[in-house]
Amino acid sequence: GAVVSQHPSRVICKSGTSVKIECRSLDFQATTMFWYRQFPKQSLMLMATSNEGSKATYEQGVEKDKFLINHASLTLSTLTVTSAHPEDSSFYICSARPGGPQETQYFGPGTRLLVL
Amino acid sequence: AQSVTQLGSHVSVSEGALVLLRCNYSSSVPPYLFWYVQYPNQGLQLLLKYTTGATLVKGINGFEAEFKKSETSFHLTKPSAHMSDAAEYFCAVSSYNQGGKLIFGQGTELSVKP
């Protein structure tokens, strides 16, 4: 149980285009989902927290107009990287949590984004 | 604010030897503590967690960790390393009043020599 999927697993796009990444909890309802960014050989950096039906809460320094997050249902959250540039190239990982703050976050397999 | 420090960005052990990965945290409120493992180009998998109760926590794949409040530590151990344990390990802290947001350490890469 507690499986989280991400789609696509990797994507290559041209500079200036937008890319949407989906995160789904397959066998549980996620009241909260999180989006992280990970650079090579580095730790995970929390980008934003999203709760179903409400606006995402972004961490300091993360541009909300560039990284659009939608949490339309209890099993789906999407991250759209708008007008992507090469510096947005990274590994994006989502996680989903079935309950309150003491519950475990379950992570997706990640999406590798390369912007040319 | 909460923070996590993992001592040693890289640890190398021989197959069959003890694995010890160190994690110290800082938190002004009761912490929730987690260890996750990441294999190359994959997401994170939970090894174990401490929220309340017993301070010695057993996880998957033979790993365990002990919450020591006086030392603000949550070190991860395994009695006998397997080749398949080679991966990146992350310690993380969260708390109820931070909404359960995970703050990760910088990670420790574990290598296992045959």
Q: Is the pLDDT of residue A99 over 90?
A: no
Measured CA to CA, the distance from residue B106 to residue B63 in angstroms comes to: 20
Q: Which residues of A touch B96 (CB under 8 A)?
A: 100-102
Q: Which residues of B touch A91 (CB under 8 A)?
A: 41
| pLDDT tens-place string over residues B48-107 | 999 999 999 999 999 999 999 999 999 999 999 999 999 999 999 998 888 889 999 999
Q: What pLDDT, on the 0 to 100 scale, is given for residue B43?
A: 85
Confidence of residue A77 (pLDDT cuts 50, 70, 90): very high
Smallest CA–CA distance, residue B49 to chain A, in Å, is 8
Confidence of residue A32 (pLDDT cuts 50, 70, 90): very high
Q: Do A107 and B44 touch (CB under 8 A)?
A: yes
Residue with the bigger pLDDT between A101 and A106: it is A106
- Read off the DSSP letter of residue A52: T
CA geometry: angle B84, B89, B92, nearest 5 deg: 150
Q: What pLDDT, on the 0 to 100 scale, is given for residue A41?
A: 81
Q: Do A43 and B105 touch (CB under 8 A)?
A: yes
Q: Is the pLDDT of residue A1 over 80?
A: no
**C-beta separation of A96 from A33 below 8 A:** yes
**Which H/E stretch holds residue A18?**
none
Q: Does any CB of chain A come closer than 8 Å to the CB of residue B39?
A: no
Q: Do B41 and A102 touch (CB under 8 A)?
A: no
- What type of residue is B65? A
Measured CA to CA, the distance from residue A18 to residue B59 in angstroms comes to: 40
Q: What pLDDT, on the 0 to 100 scale, is given for residue B54?
A: 93
Indicate the range of A40-44, A48-52, B56-60 predicted with least confidence. Answer: A40-44
Q: Does any CB of chain A come closer than 8 Å to the CB of residue B32?
A: yes
Residue with the bigger pLDDT between A26 and B100: it is A26
Q: Do A101 and B95 touch (CB under 8 A)?
A: yes
Between A44, A97, A104, which is nearest B49 by CB?
A104
Q: Which residues of A touch B32 (CB under 8 A)?
A: 101-102
- Hey, what are B44's tokens? 């994170």
Q: What pLDDT, on the 0 to 100 scale, is given for residue B41?
A: 81
Q: What pLDDT, on the 0 to 100 scale, is given for residue A92?
A: 96
Q: CB neighbours (10 Å) of residue B94?
A: 23
Q: Which residues of B touch A49 (CB under 8 A)?
A: 99, 101
Q: Is the pLDDT of residue B17 over 90?
A: yes
Q: Is the pLDDT of residue B3 over 90?
A: yes
